[in-house]
Structure 1
Amino acid sequence: MVMSRARVARRIAAAAAYGGGGIGLLGVGLVSLLLAEAKIAEHQLDSLKGEPPRADGRYGTAFAAADARPLRFAVLGDSTAAGFGVDRGRETPGALLATGIASVAERPVDLFVVAANGATSEDLARQMDVLLKLTGPDGPELALIMIGANDVTQMTKRATAVRLLGDTLKQLRALGTEVVVGTCPDLGTIEPVRPPLRWLARRASRQLAAAQAITVVEAGARSVSLGDLLGQEFRGRHEMFASDRYHPSAQGYATAAMAMLPTLCAALGVWPDIPVEQRGEGLHSLAKAAAVAASHGGTEVAPAGHWAQLLRRARRPLGAPGNGAAPEVNHVPAKAAAATAVDPALSTSDSSQ
């Protein structure tokens, strides 16, 4: 199974590199059935209205020395990247992560969120144009991209989606930006989606996630698999989802942020030297590492020469968002303990939220 996904991921990535059209997932005979299933799911999902709360601003001044230079951090991608589904800017992934990064790097963080509701990979070029107008030609020092779910639901050719992501990665890396990509989540975990649509959504999501991871690592960046929205931490727990049962709630975003924070800090070279749990033995081929990560939420794929390494960096559970509860930090160095304290109640920007 793993090697099958690895071969598919490699073929999609190769097709993207050479301008191919990708691999068709669905036979024509399934289209009517899937459309019917999709209509049922659509009627069962509540629809959220409006736009994500604004979260741009400066974070973490309390953690930094008075003369510390702010770090420019950008978030690109879709509605999940923007934090759709929560009410306050401090509950969005960008705000949570900006606060966490500031606490570890001991520098204030200037957050720029250009992610947009409904965005597919095609929108990344527009987002980059907006971002460079905000940050200037030097661009951000660190960027997070979360993209892919809408590419699956809108049936974007996977080769096209991966190629467009690769173009954005090249642009950011040429600016010297460290980049982390949260790969396509597993849409098969959304409860109102029933078989056979659920199985096909899962397959399409994981194939896209694996192909994204290959492109990310080949660009010298890092990926974190959002997989099945961090597996057991989300499965069957309605409090992790907003009212539409599709986007994460404040608690869901906080949990996802904890999975990505260590990789973002490691990309900056500021993550504390604390134990790393490895998913698998030693190094793997890039295709195999990407395929394994696609099935295990929260798994990082990092460049390692001609190989790739699977990592699950240590993290600690969060208290309930907004209640001020402290996370568990048993025997973790002080700086690492600060890194785990990504609580929405603490994630306040210096700008108005």
Structure 2
Amino acid sequence: MDEYRVPRRLRLSRAIAAAQAPVLLPQGRRLRRETPRLPDAPLPWEGRVEGGGDRDGRDDPGGASRTLHLLVIGDSTAAGVGVDHADLGLGGRLAEALAARTGRPVHWRAAGRNGATARDLVRHFLKPALEGPTDLVFLTVGANDALALRSARAFRRDIRRILERTFAAHPEAALLMSSLPAFFRFQLLPEPLRRSLYRHSQALEREARLLVGAAPRAHMSPPPPPYTEGFFASDDFHPSAIGYKDWADFAVEDAWSVGFGRLLDDH
């Protein structure tokens, strides 16, 4: 099946998963045992892309455009799992897409941890990450909350705290949040684990969309298009260098299509 409909009865996603536990738990254990564990991208998780997306600045003739400061915070995708250089991960690819879109130099940095949930970000990473200059936050979280079957209420609470603390620290900043992964397209996931995980991720995503949609300087990406050939790294779970580029291009294109880019004009 190429597509699933958005699951009904999302409020029951945890209960349905609990009822399926005798099947889901062995599938999950086998998946963890058989799936290669890829490392984070090597440090530093930081870099700079010159205006226009050209690293030597030839496409930025003004040369004096104010640098846009990008913070990527989240889970394994913020940590660049799936690539062997951080510039090829989500932070570097987003910086390239933003520099090409705005013509401005972009300094990017990333914070987070492989396996992090939204609660982990709030407790351990958000405060120190926000201490640096920040014009745009890209939040990538939720996959591990879904895998851990965290409640939608707890996830909503943590997303609210991330939003509140981000804008308290940087009132003029903007925030983009990624949609959760389209787990129903992850071929390594067996059924019924694939469908159950997708159902619960949609329950979490719905809560996040309500919060992000109500924030005047925030936007959440729509569900991703079908993943292209080469999107996944060797573990068939995390993005490859191609996948991170596709993701970054999609997120920035969508954000600008709804006028989000205007929020950065004064930075």
What TM-score, normalized by structure 2, do the two folds share? 0.82
Which residue of the partner structure matches residue 268 of structure 1?
261
Which residue of the partner structure matches residue 34 of structure 1?
24
Cα distance, 1:34 vs structure 2: 1.0
Conservation of the 8 A alpha-carbon contact between 1:185 and 1:209:
no
Q: Distance in 1 between matches of 2:146 and 2:84?
A: 27
Aligned length: 248
Cα distance, 1:185 vs structure 2: 1.0
Cα distance, 1:44 vs structure 2: 3.2
Letter in 1 for 2:140: M
Which residue of the partner structure matches residue 147 of structure 2?
153
Cα distance, 1:24 vs structure 2: 3.5
Deviations 1:128-187 (A, max 9, x none): 21213333xxxx111110110000111222211121011111222332211110021122
Q: Distance in 1 between matches of 2:32 and 2:146?
A: 15
1:115 paired with 2:112, answer: yes
Q: Distance in 2 between matches of 1:109 and 1:28?
A: 45
Which residue of the partner structure matches residue 174 of structure 2?
178
Which residue of the partner structure matches residue 214 of structure 2?
218
Conservation of the 8 A alpha-carbon contact between 1:230 and 1:256:
no
Which residue of the partner structure matches residue 274 of structure 1?
none
User: Which structure has the greater CA radius of gyration?
Assistant: 1
Cα distance, 1:73 vs structure 2: 1.0
Letter in 2 for 1:46: P
Q: Distance in 2 between matches of 1:251 and 1:4?
A: 29
Tell me the secondary structure at the aligned position of residue 32 of structure 2.
Answer: helix
Aligned in 2, Cα 1:256/1:52: closer, same or farther, shift over 3 Å?
Answer: farther
Tell me the secondary structure at the aligned position of residue 43 of structure 1.
Answer: helix
1:256 paired with 2:247, answer: yes
Cα distance, 1:75 vs structure 2: 0.6
Q: Distance in 2 between matches of 1:190 and 1:224?
A: 19
Structure 1 segment 176-255 matched on structure 2, within 5 A: 176-220=172-216, 221-225=218-222, 227=223, 229-231=224-226, 233-234=227-228, 237=229, 239-255=230-246
Conservation of the 8 A alpha-carbon contact between 1:59 and 1:102:
yes
Gaps of 5+ in 2: 52-56
Deviates more, 1:122-131 or 1:86-95: 122-131
Q: Distance in 1 between matches of 2:247 and 2:36?
A: 22
Conservation of the 8 A alpha-carbon contact between 2:188 and 2:237:
no
What TM-score, normalized by structure 1, do the two folds share? 0.64
Cα distance, 1:249 vs structure 2: 0.7
Conservation of the 8 A alpha-carbon contact between 1:241 and 1:249:
yes
Q: 2:138 aligns with which of 118, 138, 144?
A: 144
Which residue of the partner structure matches residue 54 of structure 2?
none
Q: Distance in 1 between matches of 2:13 and 2:28?
A: 21
Letter in 2 for 1:258: D
Aligned in 2, Cα 1:254/1:75: closer, same or farther, shift over 3 Å?
Answer: same
Q: Percent identity?
A: 26
Deviates more, 1:145-154 or 1:44-53: 44-53
How big is the alpha-carbon RMSD for the aligned residues of Structure 1 and Structure 2? 2.6
Aligned in 2, Cα 1:218/1:144: closer, same or farther, shift over 3 Å?
Answer: same
